[in-house]
Structure 1
Amino acid sequence: MVGMQVAPAQTALVRVLEVRRQNHRDGAIFRGERISAKGEILDTHSRLTVRLQRMSVCVPVKEGQWWQVTGRVTTDSYINDRGFQMVEEQMDVTGTDASVIKPSGFSIVNYIAKNSRMKGIGPQAARKLWERFENGLFDVLDQSDTEALALVLGIERATLLVEVWHQDGLSETLQWLSKHGMESRIGHRVLGYFGKDAAAKLTENPYRLLSFAAGWKQVDEFAKAEMGVALDDERRLVAANEEVVFKALSLGDTYVPHANLVSGLRAVLKGEKHTATLIDKVIAQSAQTGRLLFDSQDNVYSLGACLLEKAVAQGIRKRVGLKKPSCNVDAVIAAYEDRESTTRSRFELNQEQRAAVHLVAQHDFAVVTGGAGCGKTTVIKCVIEVLEEEGYDISLLALAGKAAKRIRDATDHEARTLASFIKAMQKEKEEKEKGQVASSQKRKALVIDEASMVDLLTFAAILDLIDDDTKIIKVGDQHQLNPVGPGLVFHCLPELDWIPHVELKVPKRFGNEIAEIANMIKDGIFPATDRFNGSVIFTEASEASLSDLGSSLYLQQPNDTIILCTTRKLAASINAQVQQALTARGRALRLYDPFSEQWQWCGFHLGDQIICTRNHWELGIQNGSLGTLVEIFDHPTLLDSDEDNDAPALGWIEWDDGEKRPLREDLLDSLELGYALTVHKSQGSQWRRVIVCLPTASGKGSTLVDRSMVYTAVTRAKSQVVLCGNHDDLVAAIERKKAADRRKVGLPNWLAQSALN
């Protein structure tokens, strides 16, 4: 080593040679060479390693891109094996001092010719492009004019060139949006939808950006500063109007009462003084465009939410109607009871369960509700036998992977997630349209477990993909939490007397103690302290003590125990404490950081319980999948057993479906510790022992905690549940109406109208 120096901040134009690391958590590290504005290498003996923080990465870093970066540079010089003095520079870029640079003029020839991702397009082909189009080449690329490019390159290379150009974020539209703080994902969506007309469409109405997941504040500032949009511009006020409705939709409501729309509009515009006449005019104009719809009660819907709710209402209505079963249902029930009696003495369905099985046999749409432990799974098992006897092709479905695994284990019938079912049905539909697969001769039946978790979007997607004669059975507990996504479906159905419905009320699991307490909570009553016993325990706790108490209780009996929280912040705090006590002295999962040349801890130790927070269908895991880190390798290792993935593995995770899967770096961003979960993440699963940590003082007057959340948490327990919190605040929370009752949805209205038609 000759020496190391730290220079003041400097700016450099760098061609990317190698991407060493890139993820959502840390940003990116790449190695490149300094170049001139023409793309010429400035120093053949020098290489620059650049670290971009997460906020600096406006588009994915790829080989061949040109990046302009500013930061402090550390310089290492050394003598290589051939005796030459080499210089290795490292730049740490902070803030947003980094951007992809679009080549100008003739420099585009160097950009194309030396880009490793533009295979088959060398210096000669790049020069031919310049000779033909000159500066017009940039417009040809921005407009994705593959036909013009194909005259020089052929269609395959022309398509590749356009694809890489847009991947690099070099179109005028992407550059323009990036300069104004729009994320690259938004720019790509805009470009993908509008194509070459993107800039013109946004100039015409910049608030179109709201449709591509950009936030109101960001878009409004962009429109006012860059497009000169006035405060009282009708485009702006109409967009603000729609923002109120779509914000409500993001919180679960499918409509907004007129009075709430007016107050919400004033809140979005933050005290700007607009006359009532102008506000009324804008609302009327929104209705005239058809983007917002009004019902007879003057409630305002987005067009999409209204159409989805109406489609769901029609899909349900067309299936409702009494029909004669094609098999002897009582005989099937008797045979089922005989088989179950071989493992459970004198087993019989109770009257409610028998009624539920008959209901399913008699209707193409049926709803079975009941609390935890009331025998819903038993009904599903018997229903499957009836449907098989009738010759149905049965799909047993649940929203979450852990719920699908639980019902599969309980019924011995293959079960899958709703997402994987939708994906399979979309593929089947495409193949049918191409004539690649024949239609099945067997009628289909869908049995959807934990149906209270299914939102409007998901159920509407299912109805759109299945045949009109497909039978649907929805099973669940309407007193649990409402779906995370918008709307309500399952919660609305039991209240309608024309919907075929049976409620199971008789507890059949975990003795009566947990069920009795759960039912009291469901009815809005917090039990007196003398009602608590060994199965249900209440522990008074302050807000500040919840993290310590939750982790302490967990560590007393960690086997088949879970801690449930109402906030991610509390769950994270408890997870850190449990990890410190259980696994922190064990082997750590580490990754090598080529920038600092050190091994860095990834946040996990051998034996840690983890949860996946995103869907990875290609791996067979999804948001909510739970697992244990069972092995950590000495070094990243290529696995001979996994020919489909050539990325090195860091270790093995054993997941809750019983499968061991390799842990690779690209999965780390989707993993968190899983000793403590939010209540929402727990739906569909049970544990032997459940510790529930609820907010205390901060929960007063808050709608975060209500009876449905407490009820859902309590009913996750098989043998014991420990409630921790402030008694008075818990009483107030349980007296509060459940979230589903507060959600504003139009489906009951559309169902009522469909019943009259």
Structure 2
Amino acid sequence: MIDFDPFATIIEGHLDHVSYFNEETHYTIAKIKTSGVENPVTVVGFMAAVSPGESLRISGTWETHPKYGQQLKINNYEVTLPGTVEGIKKYLESGIIKGIGPSMAGRLVGHFGEMTLEVIEKNPERLFEVPGIGKSKAASIESAWKNHHSVRNLMQFLSEMGVKTSYCGRILKAYGDNAVDILRENPYLAAKDIPGTGFYIADAIARKLGFMQDNPERVSACILHILEQRANDGHVYLYGSRLIEKCRDIFNIGYDEAIDGAYNLSETGEIVIEKKSDHFEEDALYLKELHDAEAGLAQRLLAYLSIPTAPFKIAQDDITGKVQKKIAIKLSREQLDVLEGVLSHRIAVITGGPGTGKTTLIRSLAAIFDFEGKKVELAAPTGRAARRLTEVTGRKAQTIHRLLGYNAMDGYFDRNRDNPIEAEAVIIDEASMVDTLLMYNLVAAVPVNSVLILVGDIFQLPSVGPGNVLSDMIDSGKIPVFYLNKIFRQAEESPIIVNAHRVKDGEFPVFEKPDGSVKITEFCFIEQNKSDRIPPVIVELCRKTIPDTFGFDPVEDIQVLTPMHKGIAGTLNLNQVLQKALNPNPSIVEAMGSRFKEGDKVMHLKNNYQKEVFNGDIGTVVEINGKKKQLYINYYGRVVGYDFEELDEVSPAYAISVHKSQGSEYPVVMIPLVTEHYMLLQRNVLYTAITRGSKMVILIGSKRAFEIALKNDKPRERLSGLKKKLETYSRL
């Protein structure tokens, strides 16, 4: 029962019709018919799952809208089901109960009268009495009724707790019909069970229910949330001193309570505390899963080195003959040296910048394994990177997750130490993108008597997930590493590749700018010192200049890459202005914080193996069905459907972050550079963005921002213990 404000206006009536309803926020404009008043009352505010015919008791305050006049702004509301035959019929005709339309509503009310809703809820077996309703239809109506009331009860509860009702779908997915009871009993369960936003839901509910700040359940949830957030930022662990600071500054948790909470979580096995000294502040705190993965990864990498027999002993003349016969490529002396070295180890890293022949070496290695009668698997971290690897090698490549047989139902990999990958050699491209957890699962599934070759560019950004795996492996000095430094003649003629290497080395690029005028060339810089002018420049380039001059498609071929999401030159704003400029479709739907139109370019944000769509996949919205609350996206010729509540997995992709572009290549890349993005103006960010363009790279912004990025060669610190573990374990 809701406590209504005694000083607010309270009206009672039934819902006549809904004028406006936002699917995500549940902001509603509706008309309420009250007894004794001729004209319906307009009410505005947040109401969840209400339907015409329902009786409402609403508490609110009157306000006057300049255009629409007097209306009641909703503070709280209660719903009661209609009790009259007319009200029940209107309620069921609204479509609120899936499977009941106007015709079915008429038959039900005609048979059961005022008892209709009671029969559906308490005696659904009686539905058979109505002609045309069989066992299957009755079960469907019963299920839809329960689901509707679960949703409504949960939404009402969330509204009372001050939690966004847009989280309803995730909570119901985790807890089903008992969601409200579970959240009342222990709201902090949501922090563990609902990824991403669970902690904020839990804390809001708990505080409303009267949980104290130092409640042990809250302290534990806060610590786990902090460690999860740090993992999302790329860190594998957190120092005790930083944990204490964050507990104090963000969550008002005291020093002793934070330390006690950490030790309690250690005892229950949810975190691992690596002792560094006698002081907690200097200890390293890990989520258990990350600690197990990091330690297991170090041990497994060293296990490859412990196999005494070299996999191959092949002379360079044999390498040359086999490669040329198979793929008709002449190898350089550097490439031959690298191939000979790699083939003498069970595990090796090959690293080099653009144009140094990494792809040629992958093709050569695969050809040699073919000649030796060895089965080889090619894989990459993302779907786009795997497709690109297939294109450039002419061989089947797949994502690492697919190679490992990821089981979406239970969240485990089918391939592991007990059920290893059936291949004598595994080659991974774009290895710098592989995080600690994925690399651990990979090495666990590749037998130590096979060959594992990791190929990547260590100057690019590290993985989105926690860890700095490839760099740690190289810096440890324990894993064989082979460098490709020579830029080949064809690549030397590309201003993109030449300037990418200049940026990598901290040198200012060479831009073509004939006669002192700005000219769009293969690699150019458009100076614009006013940040608010950058979006219009990008729009003009995308919509007219580039397509008209060079024939590139503004949506398919051009990709805007920016360091950050926020700000005038961030992904959020640029996607809005580019969507408006490049997609004239007036129909729009708002869901999960984004706006979508048919024809939009969109990106899938995380691996979804049930839909077979992967992090970084880019597609086009081909249909939006508002009635079914579904959106359909075409990915590379395959159409995938999403419920509106699943659209947090999708984002407009006219502009994407540099991090999200890793493993991809685009004909035209535009890179805005503004000083407001100073936190991510880093050399490796700029280098990664430049190396995504294959035909044209256009940088737009201030020279000051460019210089900051060029000089900043210190990547953001990542707390990772792999290098240290490799060094320590190798001495055991």
TM-score, normalised by the number of residues in structure 2: 0.69
Q: Which residue identity lines up with residue 271 of structure 2 in the other structure?
A: L
1:487-636 equivalent positions in 2, closer than 5 A: 487-508=467-488, 510-511=491-492, 513-523=495-505, 525-527=506-508, 536-542=523-529, 543-554=531-542, 555-558=544-547, 559=552, 560-568=557-565, 570=569, 571=571, 573-574=573-574, 589=585, 603=597, 611-612=603-604, 621-627=613-619
Residues 1:291 and 2:270 are matched in the alignment = yes
Structure 1's 405 and 101: CA in aligned 2 closer, same or farther, altered over 3 A?
farther
* Structure 1 segment 658-669 matched on structure 2, within 5 A: 659=637, 661=639
- Helix, strand or coil at the partner of 2:310: coil
Corresponding residue for residue 310 of structure 2: 324
Given candidates 707, 731, 737, the residue that maps to 2:707 is: 731
Confirm or deny: 8 A CA contact 2:376 2:427 kept in the other structure. Answer: yes
Q: Does 1:715 align with 2:691?
A: yes
Q: Deviations over 1:377-436 (max 9, x none)?
A: 111111222233344443322233322222111111112233444555679999989xxx
Matches within 5 A, 1:3-402: 12=14, 56=47, 165=146, 169=150, 179-182=160-163, 205-211=186-192, 212=194, 213-214=196-197, 216=199, 218-226=201-209, 228-270=210-252, 274=254, 276-297=255-276, 298-320=283-305, 321=307, 323-325=309-311, 328=314, 330=316, 331-341=318-328, 347-402=329-384
* Larger deviation, residues 422-431 vs 312-321: 422-431
- Distance, in Å, in 2 between the alignment partners of 1:103 and 1:422 is 55
Change (3 A) 1:291 1:340: closer
Is 2:391 the counterpart of 1:409? yes
Q: CA deviation at 1:208?
A: 3.1
Q: Is the 8 A contact 2:322 2:371 kept in 1?
A: no
SS at match of 2:150: coil
1:694 maps to amino acid: L
Encode CA deviations 1:142-161: one digit per residue, 9 max, x unaligned.
Answer: xxxxxxxxxxx999999996
Letter in 2 for 1:291: E
| Equivalent residue letter for 1:500 | P
CA shift, 1:742, in A, is 0.8
2:207 aligned counterpart, secondary structure: helix
Distance 1:649 1:686, change over 3 A: closer
Shift of residue 510, structure 1, vs aligned partner = 2.9
Aligned residues: 646
Name the amino acid aligned to 2:617. S
Cα distance, 1:369 vs. partner?
Answer: 1.4
**SS state at 1:475 partner:** strand
Q: Pick from 451, 454, 470: which aligns with 2:434?
A: 454
Q: What runs of 5+ residues in structure 2 fail to find an aligned partner?
A: 1-9, 34-39, 61-70, 101-106, 124-133, 277-282, 515-520, 590-594
**Cα contact 1:393–1:445 (8 A) shared by 2:** yes
CA distance in 2, matches of 1:592, 1:579: 11
Kept after mapping to 2: 8 A contact 1:249/1:255: yes
- Deviation per residue, 1:78-131 (Å, 9 max, x gap): xxxxxxxxxxxxxx9998978898999xxx9x99xx96669xxx99xxx9xx9x
Contact 1:361/1:386 (8 A) holds in 2: no
Q: Is the Cα–Cα contact under 8 Å of residues 609 and 674 in structure 1 kept in the other structure?
A: yes
Q: Partner of 2:243: helix, strand, or coil?
A: helix
Q: Distance in 2 between matches of 1:190 and 1:580?
A: 34
Q: Which residue of 1 aligns with 2:129?
A: none
Within 2, Cα distance between the matches of 1:244 and 1:203?
23
| Contact residue 59 and residue 75 of structure 2 kept, 8 A | no
Separation in 2, partners of 1:388, 1:261: 52
In the superposition, the TM-score normalised over structure 1's length comes to: 0.67
Cα displacement (A) at 1:246: 2.6
Q: Output the amino acid matched with 1:731.
A: E
8 Å CA contact 1:293–1:302 kept in 2: the answer is: yes
Are the aligned partners of 2:183 and 2:189 in contact in 1 as well (CA < 8 Å)? yes
**Residues 391/189 of structure 1: CA separation in 2 closer, same or farther (3 Å cut):** farther
User: Which of 475, 489, 495 is 2:455 aligned to?
Assistant: 475
1:520 offset after TM fit, Å? 3.6
SS at 1:545 equivalent: helix
- 8 Å Cα contact 1:590/1:602 also seen in 2: no
Q: Judge conservation of contact 1:56–1:94 (CA < 8 Å) in 2.
A: no
| Residue 747 (str. 1) matches residue 726 (str. 2) | no
Query: Percent sequence identity over matched residues?
Result: 22
Instruction: Report the residue type matching 1:220 in the other structure.
Output: D
SS in structure 2 of the partner of residue 733 of structure 1? helix
Map Cα deviations across residues 703-724 of structure 1 (whole Å, 9 max, x no partner).
2221111010111233443322
2 CA distance for matches of 1:207 and 1:440? 38
User: Aligned-residue CA RMSD in angstroms?
Assistant: 5.8
| Aligned CA distance change for structure 1 residues 515 and 100 (closer, same or farther; 3 Å) | farther
Aligned AA (1:255): Y
SS class of match (2:378): strand
Hey, what's the Cα distance between the residues in 1 that align with 2:324 and 2:461?
33
Partner SS state of residue 694, structure 2: strand
Take 1:23 and 1:419, find their aligned partners in 2: how far apart are those partners? 37
Look up the SS of the partner of 1:318 in the other structure. Answer: helix
Question: Which amino acid in structure 2 is aligned with residue 683 of structure 1?
Answer: Q
Counterpart secondary structure, 2:559: strand
Secondary structure of 1:366's aligned partner = strand
Report SS of the residue matched to 1:259.
helix
Measure the CA separation in 2 of the matches of 1:405 and 1:64. Answer: 50
**Cα gap change, 1:686 to 1:115, in 2 (>3 Å):** closer
Deviation at 1:511, TM superposition (A): 1.7
Task: Kindly indicate whether the alpha-carbon contact (under 8 Å) linking 1:564 and 1:677 is maintained by their aligned counterparts in 2.
Answer: yes
1:465, distance to aligned residue in structure 2 (A):
5.8
Query: Against the structure 1 CA distance between its residues 675 and 13, is the aligned structure 2 distance closer, same or farther, given a 3 Å change threshold?
Result: closer
For the residue of structure 1 that corresponds to 2:454, the secondary structure is: strand
Please say if residues 658 and 688 of structure 2, whose CA atoms lie closer than 8 Å, have aligned partners that are also in contact: yes
How many angstroms apart in 1 are the aligned matches of 2:53 and 2:368? 61
1:359–1:501 Cα contact (<8 Å) kept: no
Find the aligned partners of 1:442 and 1:385 in 2 and give their Cα distance: 18
Determine the structure 1 residue equivalent to 2:66: none
